[in-house]
Amino acid sequence: MKILKTINELNAFRNALKGTVGFVPTMGALHNGHLSLIQKSLQENDHTIVSIFVNPTQFLEGEDFHQYPKKTDADIKICSLAGVDALFMPQSDVMYAPLEPSILAPASKAYILEGFARPGHFDGVLRVVLKLLHLSKPTHAYFGKKDAQQLYLIQNMVKTLFLEVNIVPCEIVREEDGLALSSRNIYLDTEQRKEALLLSQSLQTATRAIISGQREIDVIKQEMKEVLRPLHVEYVEILNRDFDTMRTIVLSNTVILVCAKVGQTRLIDNLWI
């Protein structure tokens, strides 16, 4: 596996590739969720490029940018054992220049939910993803459904900027007890780890209600909030897949999103119905 650190190295590597290229952008601290994206890319493409870059522009003042988990040696091993062709690991000054055009995510969809708590976060995500797609020129790029709003905004960017890449949404990977995998789960102590299960349990409650015929969104949200009561809930939302509000569940066009703080750790989870 090649480790690439500069734009010239990535360009030379990419331009020599023949056939399809899968790209998996990450911020490192790789877990089985990332691995499932990498494996899907390996299965579906002739070559796979993974990037590891803790992108400063998507963190707000006071967020965990400087504490964000770093496991470089383990990450390199995981990618190499998985069969990744190249790992792109740039420094910040390779990715960013002092003067750049602004990339702004559409405010009505980027300043709600995650973007309400983290204003500007998605501008930073789109800015780096656009650069990474431009550099790696993939046939397919793989993103987890766990970051549902990010996935929606990236799909929207690809569509509206006419980028020639196929965005592949990948299923959420969960622990056996239902906890969605996240690099931030390592911040949880044993007690908090148990409390964190309430997020996926609230989604199971919603599933049961929908299976039994409930379609009223306010009723389902109320039931979910009951489950989440012990936590500091930031939002419980049920939207269509364009992230617009609706009053009743529309099957195959619904996403249920939840965000709660467990201790100091913000956790998100969601379910696509």
Give catalytic residue positions. Answer: 34
Smallest distance from ligand PAF to CB 253, Å: 24
Tell me: does residue 41 bind ligand PAF (CB under 6 A).
no
Are the C-beta atoms of 137 and 12 separated by less than 8 Å? no
Tell me: does residue 125 bind ligand PAF (CB under 6 A).
yes
Tell me: does residue 147 bind ligand PAF (CB under 6 A).
yes
Tell me: does residue 27 bind ligand PAF (CB under 6 A).
yes
Residue type at 54 in one-letter notation: V
Smallest distance from ligand PAF to CB 71, Å: 14
Tell me: does residue 173 bind ligand PAF (CB under 6 A).
no
CA dist., res. 201 & res. 7, Å (int): 44
Smaller CB separation from ligand PAF, 105 or 125:
125
Tell me: does residue 199 bind ligand PAF (CB under 6 A).
no
Neighbours of 72 (CB within 10 A): 12
Smaller CB separation from ligand PAF, 152 or 205:
152
Residue type at 89 in one-letter notation: M
Q: Which of residues 56-115 bind ligand PAF (CB under 6 A)?
A: 58
CA dist., res. 262 & res. 188, Å (int): 8
Q: Which strands sit side by side in the sheet containing 232-239, from one edge to the other?
A: 232-239, 255-262, 265-272
The 3-state DSSP class for residue 226 equals: helix
User: Could you tell me the two tokens for 238?
Assistant: 């049920």
Tell me: does residue 55 bind ligand PAF (CB under 6 A).
yes
Q: Which residues bind ligand PAF (CB under 6 A)?
A: 25-27, 55, 58, 125, 128-129, 147, 150
